[in-house]
Amino acid sequence: MTELYCGKTIYRRRPPRFDLVAGALCLDFVNTLDDRFTSEPKELLKTYIDLARFGEDTGILSDAEADRLLTRSQTSSPDAQQALAAAIELREAMYAVFWAIVNKNPAPRTQLGILNRFVRRAAQHAQLVESDRRFEWKFDEALNFDAPLWPLAQSAADLLASDQLALVRPCEARNCLWLFLDTSKNHRRRWCDMAKCGNRAKFQRFYQRKKTEKRKD
């Protein structure tokens, strides 16, 4: 089935495994460390398979590319492991930079340096490809274990250098704080996902009110 993801039509052979609610590829990637601010953060990228699945879910890898990387990751496990470690390093640098921005702080230099290193590497693999009288950026070496990292780094670079940067927000649920791009009409989106956090907050408010009412009785 074809679906729209971040303004791009992508083909999906199966429902996504990740909650892709951020409205920007790089922010969905940052959110792969779930419950980041709690005492028990949940790593959603535990193995290279998870990274390849994230690549497939977001359309940065075709299903054939994802399959080939998955098969190869089983036979060249140390290389796949290294790519996963690099992906986590990239994600954490992205998180640090975006988190500083939503808190109106300057980006931490070391983390920005790491991000820039990945952006430069991505640029080495980017090329212009013509399709239907238009040109688009494509990355070469789709079978390189690092291949999912290049579009991710590019997505962060594109967002950081765009006017949309001002629309990056954290989810208001304190135990969530996932990042998203608020492209809503009045720019008042509060939750990463209404079903996940909005309803829970509503329920908590309702429960809190009931408790106060009870105390008054």
Q: Are 151 and 25 in contact (CB under 8 A)?
A: yes
Judged by CB under 5 A, how many residues of this single chain contact Zn ion? 6
Contact with Zn ion (CB under 5 A) among 20, 173, 179, 181: 173
∠ CA(114), CA(74), CA(49), 5° rounding?
55
Q: Scan residues 56-85 and list those touching Zn ion (CB under 5 A).
A: none
Tokens of 20: 């892709």
Residue at 95: amino acid letter = Y
Residues 155 and 168: their CA atoms lie apart, in Å, by 13
Contact with Zn ion (CB under 5 A) among 96, 171, 179, 181: 171
Q: Please, what is the minimum distance in Å from the beta carbon of residue 204 to Zn ion? A: 13
Q: Please, what is the minimum distance in Å from the beta carbon of residue 138 to Zn ion? A: 33
Q: Does 149 help bind Zn ion (rule: CB under 5 A)?
A: no
Q: Does 181 help bind Zn ion (rule: CB under 5 A)?
A: no
Among residues 74 and 175, whose Cβ is nearest to Zn ion? Answer: 175
Q: Which ranges constitute the DSSP H helices of the chain?
A: 25-30, 48-57, 63-75, 77-102, 109-125, 149-160, 199-216
Question: Which of 37, 35, 32 lies closest to 87 in space, CA to CA?
Answer: 32
Q: Scan residues 196-215 and list those touching Zn ion (CB under 5 A).
A: 197
Residue showing tokens 């950081």: 160
Q: Does 192 help bind Zn ion (rule: CB under 5 A)?
A: yes
Q: Please, what is the minimum distance in Å from the beta carbon of residue 51 to Zn ion? A: 22
Which residues sit at the interface with Zn ion, rule CB under 5 A? Answer: 171, 173, 176, 178, 192, 197
